[in-house]
């Protein structure tokens, strides 16, 4: 990959904000990512912060899926007449909660 701004130079990485290749002269380190120097440094920092916060939201999926699963499971078991579909849907959500919890923990 070549530098977007200097086509005669090899790129050392891609800008986090625009995904263009940048050479050593055009690259600015923003935390652990690279951005176009004097162009996308602020945007790359914002994107990097958003990604870090999204990683912390990971434990919410198992909790949400487990609550929804229990709700559907109870609803299916207590409905008159018995609702196999709703009960199975609750089981699927509970299974999703278990799988996502194991993934978050590893």
Contacts of 71 (CB under 8 A, 6+ apart): 90
> Looking at residues 16-42, what average pLDDT do you find?
87
pLDDT digits (tens, 9 = 90+) for 35-53: 898 888 888 777 766 555 5
Question: pTM of the full predicted structure?
Answer: 0.49
Share of the chain above pLDDT 70, in %: 89
What's the CA gap between 43 and 56, in Å, rounded? 20
Using pLDDT thresholds of 50, 70 and 90, give the confidence band for residue 95.
very high
Residues 67-81: tens digit of each pLDDT: 999 999 999 999 999
Q: What radius of gyration, in Å, describes the C-alpha atoms of the chain?
A: 23
């Amino acid at each position: 990959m070549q530098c977007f701004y200097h086509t005669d130079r090899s790129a050392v990485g891609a800008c986090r904000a625009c995904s263009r290749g940048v050479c050593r002269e055009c690259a600015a380190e923003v935390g652990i990512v690279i951005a176009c120097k004097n162009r996308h440094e602020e945007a790359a920092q914002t994107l990097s912060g958003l990604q870090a916060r999204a990683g912390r939201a990971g434990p919410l999926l198992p909790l949400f899926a487990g609550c929804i699963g229990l709700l559907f499971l109870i609803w299916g078991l207590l409905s008159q007449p018995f609702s196999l579909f709703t009960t199975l849907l609750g089981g699927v959500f509970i299974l999703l909660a278990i799988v996502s919890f194991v993934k978050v923990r590893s």
